[in-house]
Structure 1
Amino acid sequence: MTQTATIVGTVEFRPGDGPMMPIPQGPVDIDLNRTEATLSWVDGETHGAAAMPLTEFKRYVSTGAIALA
């Protein structure tokens, strides 16, 4: 099930083995499953997506960095 949210604080993800990368502030679509959250967004002409463990996603929500709609 997809839901919408807004990135309002610092939210980062690690693409593969690379360094942490920020997710731009603004609207995101979120797909949740039992173990992870996949966030997708549009920043200008760039489309991005990131998967993160569900525990990490819940931490961002509880600290207010991600505001659920």
Structure 2
Amino acid sequence: MTQQTGYIVGKVEFRPGDGALMRIPKGPVEIETTRLEATLSWVEGETHGAAAMPLTDFKRYVTKGAIALP
């Protein structure tokens, strides 16, 4: 597993379970990746959020510039 800090700078969405798409707020995120998925964690005010997505989706967001990595 790899951990790093990144920034949401564009539209990044995830689907919690079978629910509707939800947007991850712009700002810093902690990113943990495995061979198959990426988990993003963030704080918005007093709320903590986390989302897991397939690694292919994560890489697509990075390529499009919606997630910035230092």
Q: TM-score range by the shorter chain?
A: over 0.9
Q: 1:1-69 to 2 correspondence within 5 Å?
A: 1-69=2-70
Please report the TM-score for the alignment, with normalisation by the length of structure 2.
0.97
Number of aligned residues = 69
Distance 2:3 2:36 in 1: 15
Task: Please list every run of 5 or more consecutive structure 1 residues that lacks an aligned counterpart in the other structure.
Answer: none
Overall identity of the aligned pairs, in %: 72
Task: Please list every run of 5 or more consecutive structure 2 residues that lacks an aligned counterpart in the other structure.
Answer: none
Calculate the aligned-residue CA RMSD, in Å: 0.4
Q: Which amino acid is the alignment partner of residue 20 of structure 2?
A: P
Q: Which amino acid is the alignment partner of residue 37 of structure 2?
A: E
Q: Write out per-residue CA displacement over residues 14-60 of structure 1, whole angstroms, 9 at most, x where no aligned residue.
A: 00000000000000000000000000000000000000000000000
